[in-house]
Amino acid sequence: MSVQYTPVLWNRNKILYDAALLIAVALYLYVFIRVGPMFEDVTRPIDGAILRMRAFGSCAFLMLTVILCIGPLARLDRRFLPLLYNRRHFGVMTAGIAAVHANYVLGWYFSFSPTDKYVALLASNTGYTQLLGFPFEALGIAALLILFVLAATSHDFWLSFLGAPLWKALHMTIYAAYVLVVLHVALGALQGPGDPVLTTLVAAGVILVCGLHLAAGRMEAGRDRGEETARNSPEETGWVVACEVGDIDDDCARVVTLDGGERVAIFKYDGKLSAITNVCAHQNGPLGEGKVLWGCITCPWHGYQYNLADGRAPAPFTEKVSTYRLKLAGATVLLDPDALPPGTHVDPVEIGGAA
C-alpha cells in the first residue's frame, strides 16, 4: 500500500518475491534455449529466432497459468497467501515476457515485408469463418492488449481512480486473456508438426486452472452452507441472533450471513466483540479470514488493516468499511442487521462471563 500514490516502497518480502520470480523465468528461458535443442530431432533443426520465440511464448503461457492458480490455491490453503500479496508484480512481468514473444514473431516473419509489419500481420490471414487456418494471430494480439491494460492499471492509483467495482471487473478480464492465449496456441502452434511436450503443457495447464477453480468453488459453497445464517431474535425486535460467544475462537471471527446475502464478520479479541462487514474496501477480500493484530483486522489478501471498533484503516491510510452494532443476551450474540456508515465508531461489547 502506498500513501498519496507515491512509488511503493520495496521491502524484504517484495525483493525476495521478485528475485525468485526473475530467477525462475531466467532459468526456464536458459534451459529452453540452451538445453532444449539437445533433445530436438537433428533432422528438423530449429532456427535460433524461432527457438527464442517459443521460449518466451511458452514462458508467458506458464506464467499466466500460475497467476490464475494462485487465487484458488490461496483459498484452499492459507500457506499460499504470500504468493497472492505481490501477484501484480507477477502479472506485469508476464505482460513483458509476452511482449518479447510478440516482438520476436514480428521480427522473424514480417521484418522484410513490403508493407508495414503490423498491417502485414493482420492482413496475412483473414479466414475468420473457418476453424482450421483461423487467424490465431488476432487472438494473441487481443490477449496481449488485455495484459498491457492490466499491467498499466495495476497500481493502487487506478484502483482509487476507477473505484473498486470497476477496477475489479477490469482485472477479471485476465480470464478472457487466458482463454484467448489457449485458443491462440491451440489454433496456432498445436496445428503444426506434432509436439507432445507443448500439447501436454497446454492441456495440463488448462486442466489445472479449471480444476483448482472448481475445487475452490466447491469449498466456498460448502463454507456458505456451513456459515451461520442470522435469524430474527424473538426477544429483541429488530435484532438477529448471530451465534454464541463460544462459537468464536479468540482473535478470530465468525462470519454470519444476513437475509440479503450480506456477510458480517464478528470478531472476538481481548475479551471483546466487534462486527464489521466481511468485505475489504481494497479488493473485496474476506476480512473474516484475516488475523487480529493490535486491535486491527488484517485482510488475508493484501494486508490492508482496519480498526475493529470503527472500521477505519490506521493513519495515514484512509480506507474504511461498514461497522455493525452488537449486544449480548447471556452467551448469545445479537446483531443489528442495519450496517452503519463506513468508519462509524461502535463501542466493543465486553464479554465478561458470557463466554
Residue % of the chain over a pLDDT of 90: 36
Q: Do 203 and 259 share a domain, yes or no?
A: no
At 193 the pLDDT is: 62
Which pLDDT band holds residue 226 (cuts at 50, 70, 90)? low
Antiparallel, parallel or unpaired: β 228-229 and 252-257: parallel
Instruction: Give 231's DSSP letter.
Output: E
Q: Do 214 and 240 share a domain, yes or no?
A: no
At 3 the pLDDT is: 42
Q: Do 277 and 193 share a domain, yes or no?
A: no
Does residue 95 register a pLDDT over 90? yes
Residue % of the chain over a pLDDT of 70: 88
Does residue 6 register a pLDDT over 50? no
At 2 the pLDDT is: 41
The torsion of the CA quartet 291, 292, 293, 296, rounded to 10 degrees, works out to: 120
Q: Choose the final residue of a domain: 171, 193, 224.
A: 224
Q: Do 285 and 211 share a domain, yes or no?
A: no
Q: Do 239 and 262 share a domain, yes or no?
A: yes
At 144 the pLDDT is: 95
Angstrom distance (rounded) from CA 283 to CA 300: 11
Residue 110 in domain: yes
Taking the CB of residue 192, how many other CB atoms lie within 10 A of it?
A: 8
Q: Do 28 and 163 share a domain, yes or no?
A: yes
At 194 the pLDDT is: 60
Q: Which strand (E) or helix (H) includes residue 16?
A: helix 12-30
Q: Do 177 and 28 share a domain, yes or no?
A: yes
Instruction: Give 278's DSSP letter.
Output: S
Higher local confidence (pLDDT), 234 or 342: 342
Q: What's the CATH code of the domain at 272? A: 2.102.10.10
Longest CA–CA span in the chain (Å) reads 85
Strand segments, DSSP code E, in 184-343 are: 228-229, 231-232, 240-244, 252-257, 263-269, 272-277, 291-293, 296-298, 305-307, 323-324, 326-329, 332-335
Which residues have C-beta within 8 Å of that of residue 15, sequence separation ≥ 6? none
At 240, give phi and psi (nearest 5°): -125, 150
Higher local confidence (pLDDT), 123 or 43: 123
149: left (phi over 0), alpha (psi -120 to 50) or beta: alpha
Taking the CB of residue 159, how many other CB atoms lie within 10 A of it?
A: 19
Evaluate the CA torsion angle 213, 219, 222, 226 in order and state its sign.
Answer: negative
Q: Do 208 and 251 share a domain, yes or no?
A: no
Which pLDDT band holds residue 5 (cuts at 50, 70, 90)? very low
Write the pLDDT tens digit of every residue in 283-309: 788 898 888 887 789 888 777 889 999
Angle at 301 between CA 296 and CA 305, to 5 degrees: 20
Q: Do 166 and 236 share a domain, yes or no?
A: no
Residue 339 in domain: yes
At 4 the pLDDT is: 45
Average pLDDT over residues 77-97: 86
Which pLDDT band holds residue 323 (cuts at 50, 70, 90)? very high
Question: Which of 320, 328, 329 has its CA nearest to residue 347?
Answer: 328
At 315 the pLDDT is: 83
At 147 the pLDDT is: 96
Average pLDDT over residues 302-319: 87
Structurally, how many domains does the chain consist of?
2
Q: Do 246 and 219 share a domain, yes or no?
A: no
User: Burial level of 22, CB count in 10 A (0-12/13-18/19+)?
Assistant: exposed
Angstrom distance (rounded) from CA 248 to CA 355: 10
Higher local confidence (pLDDT), 109 or 10: 109
Instruction: Give 97's DSSP letter.
Output: H
Angstrom distance (rounded) from CA 332 to CA 354: 8
166-171 LR contacts (CB < 8 Å, sep 24+): 168/283, 168/284
At 303 the pLDDT is: 79
At 66 the pLDDT is: 95
Q: Choose the final residue of a domain: 201, 224, 247.
A: 224
Residue 5 in domain: no
Angstrom distance (rounded) from CA 208 to CA 212: 6
Q: Is the pTM of this model over 0.85?
A: no
Residue 342 in domain: yes
The three cell numbers of residue 212 are 483448482
Write the pLDDT tens digit of every residue in 232-254: 666 667 788 888 888 888 888 88
Residue-number span of the structural domain to which 337 is assigned: 231-350
Does residue 25 register a pLDDT over 90? yes
Evaluate the CA torsion angle 146, 150, 151, 152 in order and state its sign.
Answer: positive
DSSP helix/strand/coil, 187: coil
240 within 8 A of 255, measured Cβ to Cβ = no
